[in-house]
Chains A and B, each alone.
Chain A
Amino acid sequence: MQSKMKINKQLLNWRKYIVYIAFVLVFITFSITLNDSGFLTSNNLLNIVRQTAMISIMAVGMTLVISSGEIDLSVGSITALSSIITAMALQSFGLFGGIVAGLGTGALLGLVNGLLVSKVLIPSFLVTLGMMEVARGLAMWISGTAPIPILNQSYNFIFGSGSILGLPMLFIWTILCVVMGHFALKHMKFGRKVLATGGNESAAKFSGINTKKIKLSVLVISGTLAGFAGMLYAGRLQAGRFTFGEGDELSVIAAVILGGTSLFGGVGTVIGTIMGSILIGTINNGLILMGLDVSQQMIIKGAIIILAVAFGRKTATK
């Protein structure tokens, strides 16, 4: 039986790296077929990074949420509300006020999600499904469905179009969030508690872990990061809009699951997640360069996600 297990283990490992394998395959394919369209130019590659930044950042929070056995469907809508509140706060209170307002919006909505899940004991799927509507509705209402322009150029530099030493700010923010998320999940007490809560909530409780507090925390973190992603949308497009982040929750969840985090909790990896997010971003980018229209892009993107998850399924369920 020993050697059978060894083979299983190898198989399991192979599946664990499906997202990396898929990325390499997709990257090579695009490099060859789309060379003439400029896929490999540094400008295009930086473009991919810029386009995926928001998804990647939300996906870091989502990795924690899903690892703890919960889900957050409200992230896309939170970005919209946060972008609008940030834009308004920037007009009235300046740069610092705008930053606080954006992060605060995300944190507050995350806190409401977290309290409803951990104190009122409503499943996170339902809480955040409701919050998805509430936040989007608020965004529309407050903005009167009109974009709110951001004229603060230093804000737009820091959270949008700026770059330092050739690195786009969006890329720097992404790396910062990924590094912090990875460290928290992999090397800190907090991460162990999150994974134990998602792996077996009862055993976690019996081990002295306050699982309610963990669930509250991950939802607050996810909300805050979504708020931050909203600030980046606003900075990049120099306006707050209620349409930002529409459907992002699905891309975010897809990135997390593609990366090897178990949809059922207990197994999670931030590095995998970021790879998942970049993979989706690369596919998007490649399909646009191929000249496919949006509907065709959606079909191919969806099919690739299903395929990759199907191959990686063992890691997702085990």
Chain B
Amino acid sequence: MTQTILKMEKINKSFNDVVVLNDVDFELKKGEVHALMGGNGAGKSTLMKILTGVYTANSGNILINGDPVRIEKPQDAQNAAIAMIFQEFSVIPTMSISENMFLNREELKKTGFINQKRLNEQTKELLRELNIKVDPNTKLEELSVGYWQMTEICKALSQDAKILIMDEPTATLTKKETTVLFQLIKKLKSKGISIIYISHRMDEIYKVSDRITVLRDGKHVITSPVDDLPMKSLVSHIVGQDMGDSFQWKERKNPFLDESNPVFEVQDLHSGSKVNGLSFKLFKGEILGIAGLMGSGRTEMSKAVFGIDKIDTGTIKVNGKPIKISNPQDAMNEGIALVPEDRRVQGLVLEHSLRENIMLPILNKVSKLSVIKNKSVNDVSERFIKKLNVKTDDIYKTMNLLSGGNQQKIVLSKWLANDPDILILDEPTNGVDIGAKSEIIEIIKELADQGKSVIVISSELSELLAVVDRILIFKEGKVDREIYRKDIVQEEDLEHAIQNEN
């Protein structure tokens, strides 16, 4: 376990005089899971791109098993047994597992045709070794993304990779798939494979990694065994300052609380196959958390009440008055806003500018006789950039040039600009770095203090616990349990309640 497999020494990298990495050291041991952490722009991905041959360092050494190697192109990295498991999977859905695994390096028969049988055998063997039970002939489009990722991992292993880089590997996985991935990681460790693990999710880092290295502003900050680095100090290393108590929950006095008059009420809601008789109430100034396993109907509830999915039966009341919602415009007219689960797919037009995104839900407010008033749009955009502390040069910047956290702030801005009374946030801090995460939590608290009612759907329990007044646990499309935040002592209690174990 103590053998060092990879060493990166004094790595420097600048782009046009801007220093991105400054004398960074990184060391990876055999059979180790090493978490690489840092906010957006800390230099993590640049460091990994140097390791995988996408960029070349200006100076510094890379040693594999003590021998210096030159990695100047992706092929060099592959020769050095380094493989990256991509965040956006680079598999071809219309092909089978074995076809994907051996893509472009298919073994041929003497006749020049592909030896499919042999490929299947090799794939089967590898899958069995890793305890993955699936037919290698299955097309990936018939499988969930969890298998796509496993195919990627298997592909890397079949190329004799010894070092795997996983960048936010659980971002698209369900809870169950995440568990399977962690088992797989354990298995890989026991086979002597080393893993560089990049994630913003604190709980995972503590679950899966052996050591942590933190980068900040292109510099190495600390490398430490995970047990010696409690969450609080890890966070302050990442952010570079004490985060204060934004993750600390304090019982909130709700000055608006009037339990006889819910602002928003759902009665016996049915929608599609995932929402089966949901009922709940939301009060003025309240932050209501919604937890539950994947597929428990959390996201589907939000899509139904926002008019994206069709409501089959059930009543929705706003301020006691039954309303009809058949499209998002109806919901918006009732003062409902939804910050959707996937900002890249549902939240933003990535190739459009920041201001063009912000104006979408408020086109009526910023136009006169259907003509858009540019000044109004710019004023609104500037106001929210300032209010939410979005880091950008100007409001004309294209969204895909912003970091995840700043993108999420724009999705929030877009909806806050519409001045909703009822705000539904689905996984609001997904893929957002810790600094932006705490800022978003603060924004949510502030909104509730202003009298807005907020629903927060989240898989990250620490985040839920930091912000909510009350939690509903969804199960099979119904409300399974209701818990007040003040009755929850520690995260495990909530975890058990969700798993329905106690």
Contact = CB atoms under 8 A, between A and B. Distances in A.
* A and B held together in a complex: yes
Contacts of B351: 199, 266-267, 318
A119 interface: no
A193 B363 contact: yes
A125 B262 CA distance: 49
A151 to B, nearest CB: 41
A189 B364 CA distance: 8
A207 interface: yes
B377 to A, nearest CB: 10
Nearest to B332: A208
B152 to A, nearest CB: 25
B348 interface: yes
A1 B361 CA distance: 32
B372 A189 contact: yes
A42 interface: no
A193 B338 CA distance: 19
Contacts of B306: 206
Chain A interface size band reads: 20 to 34
Interface stretch (A3-11, A87-95, A288-296): A3-11
B356 A188 contact: no
Interface in B317-370: 327-329, 331-332, 338, 340, 345-352, 356, 359-361, 363-364, 367, 370
B395 to A, nearest CB: 15
Contacts of B359: 192
Given A2-B18, A189-B372, A206 B367 contact: no
Given A3-B16, A4-B15, A205-B328, A196 B349 contact: yes
A196 B346 contact: no
Contacts of A196: 349, 352, 356, 360
Given A3-B17, A189-B367, A266-B351, A203 B346 contact: yes
Nearest to B339: A206
A101 interface: no
B293 interface: no
B184 interface: no
A41 interface: no
Interface residues of B, number: 35
B454 to A, nearest CB: 18
A266 B349 contact: yes
Contacts of A7: 16
A121 B359 CA distance: 28
Nearest to B418: A208
A188 B360 contact: no
Contacts of B17: 3
B20 A1 contact: yes
A62 interface: no
Contacts of B69: none
A14 B356 CA distance: 22
A33 interface: no
B414 interface: yes
A54 interface: no
Contact of B338 (A204, A206, A210): A206
A202 B360 contact: no
A192 B363 contact: yes
Contacts of A192: 356, 359-360, 363, 372
Contact of B360 (A2, A4, A207, A210): A207
Nearest to A2: B18
A267 B400 CA distance: 14
A7 B18 CA distance: 13
Contacts of B349: 195-196, 199-200, 203-204, 266
Given A3-B17, A5-B401, A192-B359, A206 B372 contact: no
7 contacts: A189-B363, A189-B367, A192-B356, A203-B345, A203-B349, A207-B361, A208-B328
Interface of B: 15-18, 20, 41, 306, 308, 327-329, 331-332, 338, 340, 345-352, 356, 359-361, 363-364, 367, 370-372, 401, 414
Report, nearest first, the 3 A-B pairs whose CB atoms are least far apart: A199-B349, A3-B16, A207-B360
Given A189-B363, A208-B361, 11 more contacts: A187-B371, A195-B352, A196-B352, A196-B356, A199-B350, A200-B345, A206-B347, A207-B328, A207-B414, A208-B327, A208-B360
